[in-house]
């Protein structure tokens, strides 16, 4: 049964577009300008700038790539949500709703994926029963 599924197509669209947005806007600049980012990144949890930047790169580069492929999407959404929540609550608590709208949008988009999973249209690493949904 290879019928088109609008909810699965919607999850694919959300996964890919949200992930590309995070990857291009936040992730790749951190990798490309690693040294300058290391000097500029906030460390609100006092883990050290290297670990903080490493987690941000993981959340904003590795997790979006997993998300695009649909691999462990629910799990991959969590670090992105953590980075967004830390930005809103600890790094920029002075932001009003307008200033923090990008972070709120990420929380909403990746929260939806954390709840809904990858959907049917994803890279399958292992065979599964037809019609059975996986995260």
For 34-63, how does the pLDDT look when each residue is reduced to its tens digit (9 = 90+)?
Answer: 999 999 999 999 999 999 999 999 999 999
Per-residue pLDDT reduced to its tens digit, 63-120: 999 999 999 999 999 999 999 999 999 999 999 999 999 999 999 999 999 999 999 9
* Residue 92 contacts residue 100 (beta carbons within 8 Å): yes
9 is written with which tokens?
């197509």
CA distance 26 to 33: 11
Calpha distance 103→51 (Å, rounded): 21
Q: Per-residue pLDDT for 131 more than 90? A: no
Please state the domain extents for the chain: 6-116
- Residue 11: alpha-carbon gap to chain centroid: 14
Is-above-0.85 flag for pTM?
A: yes
The confidence score (pLDDT) of residue 127 equals 57
Q: What ranges in 23-119 are assigned the alpha helix state H?
A: 28-32, 34-40, 49-57, 63-69, 73-86, 101-116
């Amino acid at each position: 049964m290879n019928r088109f599924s609008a909810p699965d197509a919607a999850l694919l669209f959300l996964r890919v577009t949200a992930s590309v947005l995070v990857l291009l806007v936040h992730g790749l600049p951190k990798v490309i300008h690693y040294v300058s980012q290391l000097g500029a990144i906030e460390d609100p949890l006092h883990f050290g700038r290297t670990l903080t930047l490493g987690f941000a790169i993981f959340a904003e580069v590795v997790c979006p790539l997993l998300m695009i492929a649909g691999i462990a999407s629910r799990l991959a959404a969590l670090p992105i949500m953590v980075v967004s929540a830390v930005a809103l609550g600890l790094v920029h608590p002075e932001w009003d709703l307008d200033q923090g709208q990008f972070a709120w949008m990420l929380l909403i988009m990746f929260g939806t994926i954390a709840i809904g999973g990858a959907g049917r249209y994803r890279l399958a690493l292992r065979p599964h029963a037809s019609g059975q949904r996986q995260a």
